[in-house]
């Protein structure tokens, strides 16, 4: 059975009920998992996990960006990673891409150009972000939207989504567990 | 953090407030919108007049505003009310009881983002049955204050949410796809007592009126 690490990016503990607990509920009973705040995680710790999910946080919470070096372990981690919203931004920033401002809030349709963790075609997804990453050539793109919604790092099994799959694309998270 | 709670006096907003308090935040005011439109998408608060008394029982100041309930105007009214709370109580964020409603959640998120304050939704995506069970475990005394959905009728108004209620609502969910937490307006609730209250809301009488599968209770306090 996979060992999964769920990483919280929330500066406020109360936000974990909104951004971490829903992920926990989806994977509960399907794998062994542990939940940690990013500030308590380093390379020696993450090595014991096969898969990592980096959760999102609130619109106003940008504390993780001030501590982006805390995610340097991503460069050496060889398991699978799913970055959700803030987690996707962290993937981009860690591999040298640029953060830009572009708020999207609410239910919006996104068209997937090809299958991404079991998701395809047009999907209504839950957006909650003020920033996004302008991804470079290191990442494959799965939507044609101006603001990229789904990417995969070419060299590893690292996936990023800007929307929140825990709201209406729960099966995407379960598909990630199979990677 | 100093927080204002979007408070209807029902189970979700009250439980969200309790979770915020337990996370060591200061609940500095409760905010309620009273909609004149019974079909408002944003505000389902048939017992809003009681919210004032509930806020007193929590020892938390209460701010309210009446809205005509026109679709976009009611959002402006909500924004005005939150701005008032920012000015008067220096709130740094809002707490809501949103569980599944993306319509309500996205609009409150946008308002908070515009005002540059935090938005906390501690019940977001919570399993509906688990939510009801949590309320009982946490010593909430809650009654049904209104119903609007088949096969609910006048006998449900005034009922206490207990384990028997949960068993029945699970059956109705299986049989009629009724939302077990009433988030779609199938039923409205009134918190009579909970760990946030210094005492119980003392109910004298509940006058039930309505027809078909739509009934509401007018609660009279002692």
CA-to-CA distance for B153 and B149, rounded, in angstroms?
Answer: 8
Q: Is A35 exposed, middle or buried (0-12, 13-18, 19+ CB in 10 A)?
A: middle
Yes or no: say if A147 and A102 are a contact pair by the CB < 8 Å rule: yes
User: Which residues in chain B are contacts of A167 at CB distance < 8 A?
Assistant: 102, 125
Domain boundary among B58, B88, B120: B120
Q: What is the domain-level CATH number for residue B7?
A: 3.40.50.620
Q: Where are the alpha helices (DSSP H) in chain B?
A: 11-22, 48-58, 73-89, 102-115, 128-137, 163-176
Q: What is the domain-level CATH number for residue B194?
A: 3.90.1490.10
The residue written with tokens 């709130």 in the block is B91
Grade residue B47 by pLDDT with cuts at 50, 70 and 90. Answer: low
Respond yes or no on whether ipTM tops 0.85: yes
Instruction: Look up A15 and say whether it is catalytic.
Output: no
**C-alpha A67 chain-centroid distance:** 17
User: Which residues in chain A are contacts of B15 at CB distance < 8 A?
Assistant: none
CA-to-CA distance for B165 and B144, rounded, in angstroms?
Answer: 10
The residue written with tokens 């931004």 in the block is A89
Q: Break chain A down into helix, strand, coil percent, rounded to 5.
A: 30, 40, 30
Query: Which three-class secondary structure state does DSSP give residue B177?
Result: coil
Are B116 and B132 contained in the same domain?
Answer: no
| Mean pLDDT, rounded, for A132-143 | 94
Overall fold of domain A3-177 = Rossmann fold (3.40.50)
Domain limits, chain A? 3-177
CA-to-CA distance for A109 and B11, rounded, in angstroms?
Answer: 32
Grade residue B39 by pLDDT with cuts at 50, 70 and 90. Answer: low
Give residue B145's domain range: 128-221
Instruction: Give me Rg for the CA atoms of chain B.
Output: 16
Are B161 and B94 contained in the same domain?
Answer: no
Query: Which three-class secondary structure state does DSSP give residue B202?
Result: coil
Whether the pLDDT of residue A143 is over 70: the answer is yes
Between A13-17, A61-65, B47-51, B132-136, the lowest mean confidence (pLDDT) is in: B47-51
Instruction: Look up A55 and say whether it is catalytic.
Output: no
Are B55 and B12 contained in the same domain?
Answer: yes
Are B96 and B141 contained in the same domain?
Answer: no
Q: Residue A92: what pLDDT?
A: 96
- Asked if A30 is an interface residue toward chain B (Cβ–Cβ < 8 A), one would say no
The residue written with tokens 């100093």 in the block is B2
């Amino acid at each position: 059975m996979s060992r999964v690490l769920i990483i919280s990016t929330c500066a406020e503990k109360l936000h974990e009920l909104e951004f971490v607990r829903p992920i926990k509920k989806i994977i509960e009973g399907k794998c062994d998992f542990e939940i940690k705040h990013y500030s308590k995680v380093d390379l020696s710790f993450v090595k014991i996990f096969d898969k990592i999910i980096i959760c999102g946080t609130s619109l106003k919470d940008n504390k993780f960006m001030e501590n982006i070096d805390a995610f340097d372990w991503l460069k050496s981690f060889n398991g699978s990673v799913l970055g959700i919203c803030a987690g996707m931004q962290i993937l981009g920033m860690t591999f040298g891409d640029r953060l830009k401002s572009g708020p999207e809030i609410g239910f919006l349709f996104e068209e997937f150009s090809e299958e991404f963790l079991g998701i395809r075609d047009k999907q209504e997804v839950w957006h909650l972000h003020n920033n996004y990453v302008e991804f470079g050539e290191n990442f494959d793109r799965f939507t044609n939207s101006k603001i990229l919604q789904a990417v995969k790092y070419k060299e590893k099994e690292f996936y990023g989504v800007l929307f929140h799959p825990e709201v209406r694309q729960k099966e995407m998270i379960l598909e990630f567990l199979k990677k | 953090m100093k927080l204002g709670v979007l408070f209807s006096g029902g189970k979700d907003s009250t439980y969200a407030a309790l979770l915020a308090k337990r996370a060591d935040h200061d609940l500095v005011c409760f905010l309620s919108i009273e909609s004149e439109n019974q079909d408002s998408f944003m505000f389902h608060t048939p017992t809003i007049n009681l919210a004032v008394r509930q806020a007193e029982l929590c020892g938390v100041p209460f701010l309210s505003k009446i809205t005509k309930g026109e679709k976009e105007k009611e959002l402006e009214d909500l924004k005005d009310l939150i701005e008032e709370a920012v000015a008067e109580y220096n709130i740094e964020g809002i707490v809501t009881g949103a569980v599944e409603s993306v319509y309500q959640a996205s609009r409150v998120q946008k308002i908070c983002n515009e005002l540059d304050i935090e938005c906390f939704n501690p019940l977001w995506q919570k399993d509906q049955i688990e939510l009801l069970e949590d309320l009982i475990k946490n010593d909430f005394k809650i009654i049904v204050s209104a119903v609007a959905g088949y096969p609910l009728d006048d006998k449900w108004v005034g009922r206490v949410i207990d384990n028997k209620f949960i068993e029945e609502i699970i059956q109705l969910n299986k049989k009629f796809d009724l939302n077990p937490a009433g988030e779609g307006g199938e039923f409205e609730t009134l918190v009579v007592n909970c760990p946030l209250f210094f005492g119980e809301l003392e109910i004298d009488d509940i006058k039930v009126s309505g027809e078909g599968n739509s009934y509401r209770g007018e609660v009279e306090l002692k």
